[in-house]
Amino acid sequence: MIATVPETAAARLRVASIPARGTPCALLMFGEIALKGRRRSAFAAVLERNLRRAMRRAGEVELHRRGSSFVVTPPPEGLASALEVGLELPGLSVVQPALRIEPDVDRAAQAAVELLRDLEPGSFAVRARRREKSFPVCSMDIAREVGATVQERLGRGVDLSHPSVELHVDAYTRELFISVDRLRGAGGLPVGTSGRAMVLLSGGIDSPVAAYRMMKRGLRCDFVHFSGQPLTGPESAYKAYALVARLGRFQGRSRLFVVPFGITQRLLASSGAGRLQVLAGRRLMVRVADALARREQCEALVTGDSLGQVASQTLRNLEVVEGAATLPLLRPLIDRDKSEIIEEAQRLGTFETSILPDEDCCTLLAPGRAVTWTDPEPLVELERRVDVETVVEQLTERALEMWPRLDQAASEPEPTASPSSSRPPGTAPISRPGSGTRAAASASSPSPSDGMREPRWASDAITARGAVRTSRSAVARTGSP
């Protein structure tokens, strides 16, 4: 098995730490926060909170702020995980695996030698930064002394323009950080600094990527998925569950609403939607998402629309669908082509789940020929015939609320279930429609949501395919929804 970049960097630090008498750690540097002026401290506080939550994956860590960066010192076995968290978390621009040593330039030179000793021969350059001016040695003198020791001990040549490896020395008053790796973080803003949004999650490739992009702009995202049940199988809901759990890496545990939409699709078809079936369904989804968003105090909607990708995403049709919303509708993928979206989905780890087969709610009862241009008036008239306000109210009340998670190693404590509850450990509590409370529901208890049964997601579904397989087998045991 090929080691990842964080695993390689962590192993290098562990080997060098003993002779260098240093402590392996991670130096995590701010991104856009550094430009926020008087609000910088508020943004940094949100980032620190997000970082402390995410770092639970790495075990018991020490976290301290150093100017425009954080120093994370995990247990030795958790260093690679800590680096992975730093690379994923929105708001961090640079992740440096480093050795932390005492504030002594000679010790810094020794640590530099140990870090470079096992690397391939080649030129090097020392990039020294005196982060706190109270450190008694200037940056140029630090670089000169460390570089001279490396040349003498290892025989490496100096190339300040195009070196084979760069050695970074960050000097603070009470400590020095030595590193040969400088990794690019996710950048953007900390999740939660820009407000909340409701993401319309289809279960396909695009919408999870759109959600991640909005997280990087500081939005905390809730999710709503429209399932074709009871006219389709439950596979799309299982996919949505696994996708939301996967996206939780970037913002913490996330909330998912599943709306059974099959009966409503049939209502639209029987009311004369005809070739407007897809657009009428999308407008109704936007209305329901808008109502849920307002109820949950979200300030915007997010979709994975890409201009011209399908018939419902022509410029005119996007305008018609957006007319159903009262909140701002954000489309972060509007200018992306499919190959770019797929590439990002693969990087995020959502692609494998998104391509699993399911029965798409949007194509349920869809006409043979798509409409690429339409006026809103026929759709408004159709909505009047079906009494759209009542339909939206009913669907909003019937939405199932859940908090997806893929494994029992989640960082947040599991709510205590009553002795009679059959909900497996690690699954999320599900609110009964219209109850207004969150309760741990039995996996076999029927839901009054147009034939939809509360699924029994197993907590050990660590991979996307495992999540769907486990969910399917649970349905086979409890009966078809």
Spatial separation of the C-alpha atoms in residues 199 and 178, rounded to whole Å? 42
> What pLDDT score was predicted for residue 408?
42
For residue 30, is pLDDT > 80? yes
Spatial separation of the C-alpha atoms in residues 442 and 453, rounded to whole Å? 10
Please state which architecture CATH assigns to domain 195-398. 3-Layer(aba) Sandwich (3.40)
Compute CA distances 227 → 37, 242, 451, whole Å.
Answer: 45, 14, 11
Spatial separation of the C-alpha atoms in residues 316 and 376, rounded to whole Å? 10
3-state helix vs strand vs coil in the chain, percent to 5: 45, 20, 40
**Pairing outcome for strands 176-179 and 165-171:** antiparallel
Residue range 356-392, pLDDT digits in tens: 988 776 666 777 787 889 999 999 999 999 999 999 9
Residue range 445-470, pLDDT digits in tens: 233 333 333 333 323 333 334 444 43
Spatial separation of the C-alpha atoms in residues 16 and 116, rounded to whole Å? 9
* Of the candidate ranges 149-153, 200-204, 421-425, the one whose mean pLDDT is the lowest: 421-425
Residue the block writes with tokens 């949501």 = 449
Domains of the chain by residue range: 5-184, 195-398
Please determine whether the domains at 5-184 and 195-398 fall in the same fold group of CATH.
no
Q: What is the CA radius of gyration of the chain?
A: 26
Residue range 405-434, pLDDT digits in tens: 876 433 343 333 333 233 323 334 333 333
> What pLDDT score was predicted for residue 1?
54
Cis peptide before 230 (omega within 30 of 0): yes
Spatial separation of the C-alpha atoms in residues 378 and 280, rounded to whole Å? 10
* Vertex 97 angle, CA 192 and 134, to 5°: 85
> What pLDDT score was predicted for residue 407?
64
> What pLDDT score was predicted for residue 240?
96
Q: Which pairs count as long-range contacts for 374-379, CB under 8 Å and 24+ apart, including other chains? A: 374/276, 374/279, 374/316, 374/317, 374/320, 375/320, 376/320, 376/323, 378/276, 379/276, 379/279, 379/280, 379/283, 379/320
What would the mean pLDDT of 112-140 be, rounded to a whole number?
A: 94
Contacts for 52 with CB less than 8 Å, ≥ 6 apart: 63
> What pLDDT score was predicted for residue 360?
74
Number of C-beta neighbours around residue 338 at 10 A: 12
What would the mean pLDDT of 298-309 be, rounded to a whole number?
A: 96
For residue 95, is pLDDT > 80? yes
Of residues 476, 477, 475, the one with CA closest to residue 237 = 475
The length of the chain, given as a count of residues? 481
**Pairing outcome for strands 195-200 and 219-227:** parallel
Please state which architecture CATH assigns to domain 5-184. 2-Layer Sandwich (3.30)
Token readout for 412 is: 């947040």
Token readout for 170 is: 């960050």
Beta strands in 327-420 (DSSP E): 329-330, 400-402
For residue 168, is pLDDT > 90? yes
For residue 27, is pLDDT > 60? yes
pTM score above 0.75: yes
pLDDT, mean over the chain: 84
- Nearest 10 degrees: Cα torsion 340, 341, 345, 350: -160
> What pLDDT score was predicted for residue 221?
98
- Which of 63-72, 297-306, 442-451 shows the highest mean pLDDT? 297-306
Token readout for 10 is: 């962590």
